[in-house]
Homo-oligomer: A and B are copies of this chain.
Amino acid sequence: MTTATLLVSCPDQKGLVAKVADWLYSHNGNIIHADQHTDASAGLFLMRVEWQLAGFNLERQEIAASFQPLAAAIDAKWQLHFSDRVRRVAIFVTKQDHCLYDLILRHKSGEINSQIPLVIGNHPNLEAIAHNFGINFHHVPITAETKATQEKLQLDLLHQYQIDLVVLAKYMQVLSPQFLAAFPQVINIHHSFLPAFPGAKPYHRAYQRGVKIIGATAHYVTEDLDEGPIIEQDVIRVSHRDAVADLIRKGKDLERIVLARAVRLHLENRVLIYGQTAKSKLGLRTVVFD
């Protein structure tokens, strides 16, 4: 079943659900999933609606033009996605393989609807894994001195492979503001329950602090390290019996699962970022229409 999905955000006002639903119904749209949220503190209305293309009486290339006047009238930002336009994902790695394997295997089993044509490693260690699953691997080593040049090389690869989304799967490098300006669609997995333990070595610091629960956080990457909008988090109990190595082992399961959920939600167009309007003191945050 091929579907179209609209993600809409606009200033809150009366009649928004009616207007969007009417537009769909007037074109004989069969809604599969609709959800909406009003954030009173931000004065924003956010909506996701997904409908079948079969039976819809607009051609897919006509849909955007048909929706545009309504979007303008309600002052909306919006995205339109088609389920058969499979997104192309590049995975950035360093040496740890558990998140890379996890994403590849979920892709292989059909759990993640995407293509994965490209893996980029700043170390060459995981090349064999990529090749084993028929994925191209590029080794792009990075040092402080070569960062600008090598990020340019990464961006060229993303362009060449027509990549839609970059997933940092335990990629132990910080992306520069220049990289993010050129390619903003990046999801990262951080191995702590943010905002606890941002930065380096969170498991070691969790151990030293003596917490009883550890976590992992998947978020969009922004210029502010570990401050990007959170998509998904999960946690697991630990005790005094768990040494740092146990926290790392337990955390790996969290990292795998939390990152995979976030990637899946993004690829199903279920995540909307908002915040930091004139009316609010909110940070950048997400609505997850799950």
Which A residues are closer than 8 A to B by beta carbons? 14-15, 17-19, 21-22, 24-25, 28-41, 97-98, 101, 105, 109, 111, 132, 193-197, 207-213, 215, 229-235, 237, 239-241, 243, 249, 252-253, 257, 275, 281-288, 290
Q: Is the CB of A230 within 8 A of B212?
A: yes
- Contacts of A252 on B, CB cut-off 8 Å? 111
Chain B residue with Cβ nearest A261: B253
- Contacts of A241 on B, CB cut-off 8 Å? 37, 290
Chain B residue with Cβ nearest A32: B38
Q: What is the minimal beta-carbon distance from A203 to any residue of chain B, in angstroms?
A: 13
Main secondary structure of the interface of A (DSSP, over half): mixed
- Contacts of A132 on B, CB cut-off 8 Å? 132
Q: Is the CB of A287 within 8 A of B235?
A: no
- Contacts of A234 on B, CB cut-off 8 Å? 213
Q: Is the CB of B229 within 8 A of A210?
A: yes
Q: Is the CB of B240 within 8 A of A210?
A: no
Q: What is the minimal beta-carbon distance from A277 to any residue of chain B, in angstroms?
A: 13
Q: Is the CB of A21 within 8 A of B17?
A: yes
Most chain B beta-carbon contacts within 10 A, residue among A22, A252, A288: A22
Q: Which of B38, B97, B196, B230 contacts A195 (CB 8 A)?
A: B196
Most chain B beta-carbon contacts within 10 A, residue among A25, A197, A232: A25
- Contacts of A97 on B, CB cut-off 8 Å? 109
Q: What is the minimal beta-carbon distance from A226 to any residue of chain B, in angstroms?
A: 11
Q: Is the CB of A211 within 8 A of B240?
A: no
Q: Is the CB of A285 within 8 A of B209?
A: yes
